[in-house]
Amino acid sequence: DQQVKQNSPSLSVQEGRISILNCDYTNSMFDYFLWYKKYPAEGPTFLISISSIKDKNEDGRFTVFLNKSAKHLSLHIVPSQPGDSAVYFCAASGYSSNTGKLIFGQGTTLQVKP
């Protein structure tokens, strides 16, 4: 039972355009969501997060949107750069449970073409 799903295994965009990565979740107890970026042979790097009390959070070129009614979140990267090419994971946690456990999606491989 996959509680966090990233249905697009890969995405290819042109440099300078917007990249939109999507994530769906099934567990309504999740109240904190994170995005990580991962390069080969490295650990995931934290990018941006959002609490369930918000519907948007921005950090530079990265914006995460949360639609609780649809149990859907998305990561927007504007403008996309070749260095953004990596695997992106969304993750969820039940903040109130404080259990230090993140549930990850399967990842989306983003390729940004120069």
Partner 1 sequence: KAGVTQTPRYLIKTRGQQVTLSCSPISGHRSVSWYQQTPGQGLQFLFEYFSETQRNKGNFPGRFSGRQFSNSRSEMNVSTLELGDSALYLCASSPDRSYNEQFFGPGTRLTVL
CB atoms within 10 A of CB 105: 23
Binding mask 85-104 for partner 1 (x = CB under 8 A): ----x-x-x-x--xxxxxxx
Q: If binding is defined by CB under 8 A, does position 19 make contact with partner 1?
A: no
Handedness of CA 49, 15, 112, 108 (dihedral sign): positive
- Tokens, residue 20: 């939109």
Binding mask 59-88 for partner 1 (x = CB under 8 A): ------------------------------
CB of 4 to partner 1, least distance (A): 9
Three-state SS at 45: strand
- Taking a C-beta distance cutoff of 8 angstroms, is the pair 89, 44 a contact? yes
Taking the least distance from each CB to partner 1, the nearer of 15 and 48 is 48
Taking the least distance from each CB to partner 1, the nearer of 69 and 96 is 96
